[in-house]
Chains A and B, each alone.
Chain A
Amino acid sequence: MTARETNPLVTLEPMDGPAYDEYRERVRGLIERRLTMAERVKFLFPAAGGFAMALVLIALAISEPETTPGATRWILFGMGVIGAGWCYIGCRTLLRGSLNLLVDHRNLARYALLVSSLQTAVFALCWTGDGPLLPAILFSLVFVVVSATLLVTARLQEAELRIRIDGIGPRGNGRP
């Protein structure tokens, strides 16, 4: 961004001294702090677990005998995709090393997950094994996957924000 011309008024309130140095250190920590190795290990779990889940379930879906109902195969695929979503989120977190809290995404994802889960459950309960409900169930399942992925992303972002805030430490007696 182009530097703006400094308003001369603000230069009359000095920003220096030990209190300012401490403040700068904490704000820089809030903004720039990267995940430590231990924290990265924590974020490795959804990546590795999701990868394993996707690998096993999709392999199962492909290798099931031909007598297996198509619905079972699709459900395995769906769960495999959920695992792939976890893997994607975990890897993205690890590669970037930081996240940001997006409150709107979390609330939206929570709402979408609730609605799509209920819809899928109702369709599944009504389904008798074949017929026109199958595409509707699969369509609902896509929304479950997408909203669950968004919700997990937001929860991970919150977790990292807590780490950042814990990292900058408490202030003592109202002083920075």
Chain B
Amino acid sequence: MSDSNPSEPRHGLRTETREASLEAITLGCRAGDAEAWASLVEHFERPLYYYACRLLSDRDLALGALQDAWVRAFESVGSLRDPRRVAAWLYTLVRRSAQAELGQAGRRLEVALPMDTDGAELDPAQDTPDEGLDPWHDAEALHGALLVLSPASAEILTLFFLEDLTQAGVAEVLGIPLGTVKSRLHHAKRELRLVLRADTDPTAPKERSIR
């Protein structure tokens, strides 16, 4: 993973092919094509559900948020002007639905980290490589670590590891500047490495529970 461009999502498929397919599917959805909707759901259902689970720590609530997000998508697909933004649009809808779910329970999403900056101080040369931080390499370790990280770090790393979004897309979903995404990602990765290292310590705390 260290040889990939961090500003681009990483996929098993060639990015151009995937984006063209998604664009065609999104245009089909705008035209009311049921098959296009089925494809869109099939393509994004699992990662969106995973994201909702990380936000809500409850699988039933996550399914509820996901269902609401699909209804909102169905209602507002006409307002999606650029079909290439479909991934960011869907993740944003899920995030809003999750916020609504949390709001009903009198809770809120944690939106900021105390160390948030505009990313200007980050020197890419000094940034530690992403070695070992790859869902294709050791998904279970990452999954376990995401359960014990702070919510804001877990959220940005989840968006990063799900590989559907560029960093600009992550910024759009979270509603923060690109520089803040870079800064937050940098700190979240550092936090993640500490958790992964501590994982070898039998006395370290393990998983945050998810119902």
Contacts and interface: CB of A to CB of B under 8 A. Distances in A.
Interface range on chain A: under 10, 10 to 19, 20 to 34, or 35 or more?
35 or more
A141 B79 CA distance: 29
Interface stretch (A23-31, A52-60, A143-151): A23-31
A7 B74 contact: no
A32 B161 CA distance: 32
A122 interface: no
Interface string B37-57: 111010101110110010000
Contacts of A161: 74-75
Contact of B142 (A9, A104, A168): A9
Interface stretch (A12-20, A65-73, A77-85, A113-121): A12-20
Interface string B1-39: 000000000011100011001101100011110100111
B41 A4 contact: no
Contacts, number: 128
Nearest to A100: B32
A25 to B, nearest CB: 10
A51 to B, nearest CB: 24
Contacts of B50: 9-10, 12-13
A133 interface: no
B139 A12 contact: yes
Contacts of A37: none
User: At the interface, is chain B mostly helix, strand, loop or mixed?
Assistant: helix
Contact of B64 (A103, A168, A174): A174
Interface in B75-102: 75-79, 101
Nearest to B48: A10
B32 A13 contact: no
A91 interface: no
Interface of B: 11-13, 17-18, 21-22, 24-25, 29-32, 34, 37-39, 41, 43, 45-47, 49-50, 53, 59-61, 63-64, 66-68, 70-71, 74-79, 101, 104-105, 135-136, 139-140, 142-143, 161-163
21 contacts: A2-B13, A4-B11, A4-B12, A5-B13, A10-B50, A10-B162, A13-B46, A13-B49, A15-B46, A19-B60, A23-B66, A27-B70, A30-B74, A31-B34, A31-B41, A100-B31, A100-B32, A157-B32, A165-B75, A171-B67, A175-B64
Given A10-B47, A12-B140, A104-B78, 6 more contacts: A1-B24, A5-B13, A12-B139, A13-B50, A32-B34, A175-B61
